[in-house]
Amino acid sequence: MTDLDLARAWLVDPASGREGPGDIVVRDGIIEAVTWLEGIDAEGIDAAGVVVAPGFIDLHAHLREPGNEDAETIASGLAAAAHGGFTTVCAMPNTSPAIDEPGVVAGIRAAAIVSGSPLELLVHGAVTVGREGGTLAPLGELADAGVAGFSDDGAPIRSGSILRNALAYAGALGLPVIDHAEDPDLTDGAEANDGLVATVLGLRGWPVAAEEAAVGRDLAILADVVRDVPSARLHLTHVSTGASLDLIRRAKSAGLPVTCDVTPHHLALTDDWIAGSRRWAWEASVDPWDVAAREAAPYASSLRVNPPLRCPEDALACLAAVADGTANAIATDHAPHTEVDKAVEFGLAANGISGIETALGVVLAAVDAGHLTLLRAIEALTSGPAAVLADRSRRARSVGLLEGSPADLVVVDRADSWTVTRERLASKGKNSPLIGMSMPGRVLLTMAGGRIAYEAPSD
């Protein structure tokens, strides 16, 4: 257990909604004192320097173990998470075997312990056996084994009746059903967002309607279920379009128990990147056919992801959803892949971006550009996801800089930046479209459960 003295930093505390100059003292792994500075003591400290926030919580990451350890292991995934400032990670069940029975959950827990990582690793159980969409997995046994929610992600829950039953059953268990909303008939063979870029580059289009229709269906079913099971909860993950977010916004104001998250890549990157642009969604976009304006070669397979990168309007809608709270959380959908699966033709590449280490940088870019406040960004990375996890995380009731709690902290130097390189990525997955780019902010220290999980090298 560690001691830490952080003086004259910018503290961000989602628990109280407060941010400002302050000191933090950690003794033996426990936050001993949080002192907010005022008046003369506060002079010269601002949010552009060293920032201290609670360690981030990722609702959605693919750690690949068991079954695909070439792409990532629990150990490498947690190391990557710590590098990214995360202290709690939820692993999705599309492993091999899928997390559809307690034995697999136990195996993953054991791997986490063996890794020696101080991070909190939570696990989502599959909704259906083998994630095949046929019959319900043993949801009760999985709940007893400690899963944080149920999902068939990377696949949607195809059958409406399965979704209905899962929502009802899981509701009684007090756990959310997490759906990857996609109508697979509309996305058969699809490669990129159905828009101008796909048309110009000759890529098979992935219509917005494929997500919107599935979201609409899910919300309608949820509305039905809550009449019988008021405790039912639906969480829609990696929502990527304005149309879907509008539906969710309306459902929330109607009182439906739905939550959702967006990924960093969906709120900042756009399908223009496939044409060779490297501009953030909020920057002026460039004609995908303007070859002279290309900043990178087109068809980079690191950009192939499900849901696909959307047009700038949709990306800005995701950003706005974080700002106005429609999006409860930012979740990374960290999806590491091996070279073999990614160093191929765009249309043959596996879907996914290795993003847990660059999530903070992308979000800070949005904050720097004025599209998000720092407090709201930190909330979306901490208290927002904690609320979705309810009592499954040891931190859920206390996501903040709270005296007496074990230290789950991230210390970020916003005055610094770092260039993303393959060597610097702790994840085994080097499939990041941000390689070669400079990310704002640099994680200096990540503490989880009172122990140091990551410390920046002093070079």
Q: Write out the residues near another protein by the rule CB under 8 A.
A: 191, 194-196, 198-205, 287, 289-291, 297-299, 301, 340-341, 343-348
**Least distance to another protein, CB of residue 428, Å:** 17
| CA neighbor of 41 nearest in space, from 68, 9, 79 | 9
Of 150 and 299, which has the nearer Cβ to another protein? Answer: 299
Of 40 and 292, which has the nearer Cβ to another protein? Answer: 292
Of 92 and 349, which has the nearer Cβ to another protein? Answer: 349
Classify 310 as helix, strand or coil: coil
From the list 194, 333, 408, 413, the catalytic residue is 333
**Least distance to another protein, CB of residue 432, Å:** 16
Q: Is-contact 89 63, C-beta < 8 A?
A: yes
**Least distance to another protein, CB of residue 190, Å:** 12
| Measured distance CA(447)–CA(353) in Å, rounded | 25
**Which secondary-structure segment (H or E) carries 207?**
none
Mutual angle of helices 102-115 and 74-83, in 10-degree steps:
60
| Measured distance CA(424)–CA(440) in Å, rounded | 15
**Least distance to another protein, CB of residue 62, Å:** 18
Of 28 and 290, which has the nearer Cβ to another protein? Answer: 290
Q: Is-contact 243 316, C-beta < 8 A?
A: no
**Least distance to another protein, CB of residue 308, Å:** 14
**Which secondary-structure segment (H or E) carries 246?**
helix 242-253
| Measured distance CA(219)–CA(6) in Å, rounded | 45
Of 288 and 355, which has the nearer Cβ to another protein? Answer: 288
| Measured distance CA(439)–CA(224) in Å, rounded | 44
301: left (phi over 0), alpha (psi -120 to 50) or beta: alpha
Q: Is-contact 351 337, C-beta < 8 A?
A: no
Of 51 and 437, which has the nearer Cβ to another protein? Answer: 437
Q: Is 41 a catalytic residue?
A: no
Q: Is-contact 136 166, C-beta < 8 A?
A: yes
Of 191 and 218, which has the nearer Cβ to another protein? Answer: 191
- Give the long-range contacts of residues 339-348, CB within 8 A, separation 24 or more: 339/430, 341/71, 342/301, 342/302, 342/431, 343/301, 344/301, 345/299, 345/301, 346/191, 346/203, 346/274, 346/299, 346/300, 346/301, 346/304, 347/191, 347/203, 347/204
What are the structure tokens assigned to 344, written together? 């191929």
**Least distance to another protein, CB of residue 72, Å:** 17
Catalytic residue list = 333
